[in-house]
Amino acid sequence: MKRRAILIILDGVGIGAAPDAALYGDEGSNSLVNTAAVLNGLALPNMASLGLGHLARIPGVSAQPAPIGAYGFMEPLSKGKDSTTGHWEIMGVVLSQPFPTYGKGFPEEIIKSFEEQTGRKSLGNVVASGTEIIERLGDQHIKTGCPIVYTSADSVFQIAAHEDVIPVEELYAMCKTARELLQGEHAVGRVIARPFIGQPGSLQRTSNRHDYSLVPPRNILDFIEEAGGRVVGIGKIKDLFGGRGVSDSRPTTCNEDGIELLKSALGEADSSLIFANLLDFDQVYGHRNNVSGYAQALTLFDEALAEIMQLMHREDLLIITADHGNDPTTPSTDHSREYVPLLVYGPAFPGGVELGRRRGFSDVGQTIAEHLEIPVQGLAGRSFYKELKGLS
């Protein structure tokens, strides 16, 4: 049976403030532990069986004496705390400079060029919550046809538009225009289409979001494809890598959708890497400080994990981790600079392996490459494959 790796990113699920969290204003952040504490415990028995309870004192999650998985946690090394940065680091690319952010909106020359090239004036150009700004400017947008441009604490250029005012395909074209403009010193991590529907007072975003990331440098996904492997990207993986290194992209609308697509992909024998991002922890709950929703999403994933593990082939390797934190219990609605959990399972691997604290996320990508028997050179990270096998 051909070897496969399954990599699941729980987007925004951190497990404690990183050593440099103070530089980001994130002291005290701990997405998992704080959520569990507020709700007097989380029931996550399947992740606990892999060793989650050994990583921290998480109310409701026991440190099982004989976990069937390997467990550890990883410290971010790249500058920045956004999804693009986290995913790139997982695949061996560590950024020495963060993507640019715009706390006072984008420079006038950027907005002017954007308006000239799209043929539409714009509204906003402020730092704002996506749900708040469409309520504030939605009526004006509908009346004028001007797209709403906004950003956040992350390196993003977001364009919101009502689907009946600016059709989705036109919105996507505007995002491509913005992506071409935002290069060099203004090379934001992502340009994001944020379509919405409804009437003023009851506007809501749709599932037609689309991200336009920078194209990363050569990374482990390239090595997999060049070796003849097939990478299936579930969720926003293709977007985060600018299409690079993803053989088959399967977009999702929510975690449930992503889980179903993941289970379907596990029934296919021709994949080398099934790479899934589950975004609801971050997009739907973390950014809105919805603690109960965040916890429910964790419970939903944990329930699905049992079936995911049952669908695995004997030679498969499953890795569950995250790209950054997004603690829903803190006043901030932004990402949080955190360690991320690392849970690993394979039917052919011994359990109970403590992986400790890993310096950087890239150890994951290097381990996947070694499992797939693909040599990788010139990228960050140190494989823990021998440790998984009990050989180190």
- pLDDT tens for residues 182-232? 999 999 999 999 999 999 989 999 989 988 989 999 999 999 999 999 999
Check whether residue 224 and residue 140 sit in a common domain: no
Is 331 inside any structural domain? yes
Check whether residue 283 and residue 159 sit in a common domain: no
Number of other CB atoms surrounding residue 364 within 10 Å: 27
Check whether residue 93 and residue 230 sit in a common domain: yes
Check whether residue 206 and residue 301 sit in a common domain: no
Q: Which run of H or of E encompasses 273?
A: strand 273-278
Residue 363: domain span: 5-97+214-388
Provide the pLDDT for residue 154: 84
Is 120 inside any structural domain? yes
The whole-angstrom separation of Cα 212 and Cα 158 is: 10
Provide the pLDDT for residue 15: 98
Give residues with Cβ within 8 angstroms of 387, minimum separation 6.
Answer: 70, 353, 355
Is 153 inside any structural domain? yes
Report the domain count for the chain: 2
Q: Residue 349 to residues 199, 352, 385: CA-CA distances in angstroms?
A: 54, 10, 10
Check whether residue 184 and residue 315 sit in a common domain: no
Check whether residue 235 and residue 92 sit in a common domain: yes
Check whether residue 377 and residue 348 sit in a common domain: yes
Is 125 inside any structural domain? yes
Q: What phi and psi, each to the nearest 5 degrees, are found at residue 152?
A: -150, -165
Is 102 inside any structural domain? no
Check whether residue 185 and residue 228 sit in a common domain: no
Last residue of a domain, one of 210, 241, 272: 210
The four Cα atoms 30, 32, 35, 40 give a dihedral, to 10 degrees, of -120
DSSP for 166-195, written as a single string:
S-HHHHHHHHHHHHHHS-GGG--SEEEEEE
Number of other CB atoms surrounding residue 202 within 10 Å: 9
Check whether residue 63 and residue 152 sit in a common domain: no
For residue 368, give both structure tokens.
């996947």
Q: Residue 101 to residues 89, 185, 240: CA-CA distances in angstroms?
A: 19, 11, 17
Check whether residue 31 and residue 154 sit in a common domain: no
Is 186 inside any structural domain? yes
> What are the average pLDDT values for consecutive 10-residue runs of the chain, which has 392 residues?
91 98 96 98 98 98 96 97 95 95 94 97 92 93 97 92 97 97 94 95 90 93 97 96 95 96 94 97 94 98 98 97 98 95 96 96 98 96 95 74
Is 103 inside any structural domain? no
Check whether residue 206 and residue 220 sit in a common domain: no
Q: What CATH number does residue 353 fall under?
A: 3.40.720.10
Last residue of a domain, one of 195, 210, 225: 210
Is 133 inside any structural domain? yes
Check whether residue 264 and residue 382 sit in a common domain: yes
How far is C-alpha 146 from the chain's CA centre?
Answer: 30
Last residue of a domain, one of 210, 226, 247: 210
